[in-house]
A and B are shown apart, each in its own frame.
Chain A
């Protein structure tokens, strides 16, 4: 299952108010590395979805969200917990490295 898209309108409910940690994948159509990371995130979501919710923000459609969270490079993966960014991962990384970076949320 591919990750749900969130927008400015749904960000509060889907991300900031979530009881579970939420990984937000800031991406765009034109970003090659984003396209490579996307299926890896889908796999992580399938394997660890009960502990970590994974959603996407399209920076073309939601530039205000990208700006608000200081995104200057994509893919950018930010983990939110209790409404705060608690982890920020910049750039496309292979799955074993992503799993290691996310270990505190999925183990």
Chain B
């Protein structure tokens, strides 16, 4: 029986690992087999993580998080949790690799998964012109015409990054203002390869076997237009990843895991949650890390009380 199992390996999960390991709790951190390191593995330059005044690459930051967690004895398992039973005093966690673990506490740091547009054939064209990862796929659009959908920081970052490859990047947003931070907006707006298309959403994906374009719809007057494209990058936000636990712990109306006040306490004793899976508002690497620390301290107090 373990004292603590942490599910997730973004800034929240690894920070929970650092703190619980330093508390002598020998945490097992189940990191995922192919998504270990979380969202930051897909970003390039991270400029706003305090302590790194000249910035660093997202994957580099996550390698450092992992190394720090392991240094104090966090056991990192590259496997996927496929089932949990968190309702009893002994928590049961099963992995895709076929292992079953038991623990007194579980820290949920499962983050958020990218949101789809919800259009017909979106899945079929995924990897054939439709993408959610500019850093993974931008390379294949050298001298091509592409569009980025979204208005937040990740849409700005993707559009700006993609101008390294593409000859033209349309930045399509359904409103007339961006939600992104000022510095990211200014960078995108100043880029001569980026053309912003306001008040517009994607109505249809075109192309057989491979994306050839989209039909756009104006959100103000409803008019539609065809736009020829080689690639479409979707950055319309993320949804908290709660499918593992949604029938066991209480969720908020927006489907985030519900926690008590400023703590990480979920509706189940011994189950704590942190990072993007509880956060509809801030969703930064640094806030996730802070939240992972809170969960570790809450788990530590809980274990001290049940002893």
**A64 contacts partner chain B, Cβ-Cβ < 8 Å:** no
**A73 at the B interface (CB under 8 A):** yes
With CB as the reference atom, state the residue of chain A lying closest to B98.
Answer: A96
B210:A33 contact, CB within 8 angstroms: no
Stretch at the interface among B133-141, B169-177, B188-196, B218-226: B133-141
Known contacts being A36-B36, A72-B141, is A95 close to B96, with CB within 8 Å? yes
Q: Please tell me if the beta carbons of B33 and A30 are within 8 angstroms of each other in the complex.
A: no
CB of B135 within 8 A of CB of A30, answer: yes
Give the contact-size bracket for chain A. Answer: 20 to 34
Q: Which of B102-110, B121-129, B147-155, B261-269 contacts A (4 or more CB under 8 A)?
A: B121-129
**In the assembled complex, B180 has its CB within 8 A of some CB on chain A:** no
CB neighbours of A90 from chain B (8 A): 126-128
How far is B133's CA from A88's CA once the two chains are assembled, in angstroms? 19
Shortest A53–chain B CB gap in Å is 22
Interface of A, secondary structure class, is loop
Proximity bits, A13-47, B CB within 8 Å = 1, else 0:
00000000000000010111100110010000000
A76 contacts the other chain (CB 8 A): yes
Q: Does chain A have a CB within 8 A of B185?
A: no
Distance in angstroms between the alpha carbons of A55 and B140 in the assembled complex = 20
Q: What is the 8 Å Cβ interface bit string for chain A, positions 37-67, against chain B (1 contact, 0 not)?
A: 1001000000000000000000110000010
| B contact face: mostly helix, strand, loop, or mixed | loop
Contacts known (A33-B136, A94-B96); A73 close to B127, Cβ less than 8 A: yes
With the chains together, A95 CA to B42 CA distance in Å? 20
With A66-B140, A70-B210, A74-B136 given, is the CB distance from A93 to B34 under 8 Å?
A: yes
Interface residues of A in 74-105 (CB under 8 A from B): 74, 76, 90-96
Instruction: Across the interface, name the chain A residue whose C-beta is closest to B126.
Output: A90
Whether, in the assembled complex, A71 has its beta carbon less than 8 Å from a beta carbon of chain B, the answer is: yes
Query: Which residues from chain B contact A31 at a C-beta distance below 8 Å?
Result: 135-136
Which residues of B are in contact with A by a Cβ distance under 8 Å? 32-37, 41-42, 59, 78-80, 96-97, 126-129, 131, 133, 135-137, 139-141, 210, 231
Further pairs besides A31-B135, A59-B140, A90-B126: 5, Cβ < 8 Å: A40-B33, A70-B128, A72-B137, A90-B127, A96-B96
20 intermolecular pairs with C-beta atoms under 8 Å apart: A28-B139, A30-B139, A31-B136, A32-B37, A32-B41, A32-B59, A36-B78, A40-B34, A59-B139, A66-B140, A71-B140, A72-B128, A72-B131, A72-B137, A72-B141, A76-B127, A90-B128, A91-B127, A95-B97, A96-B97
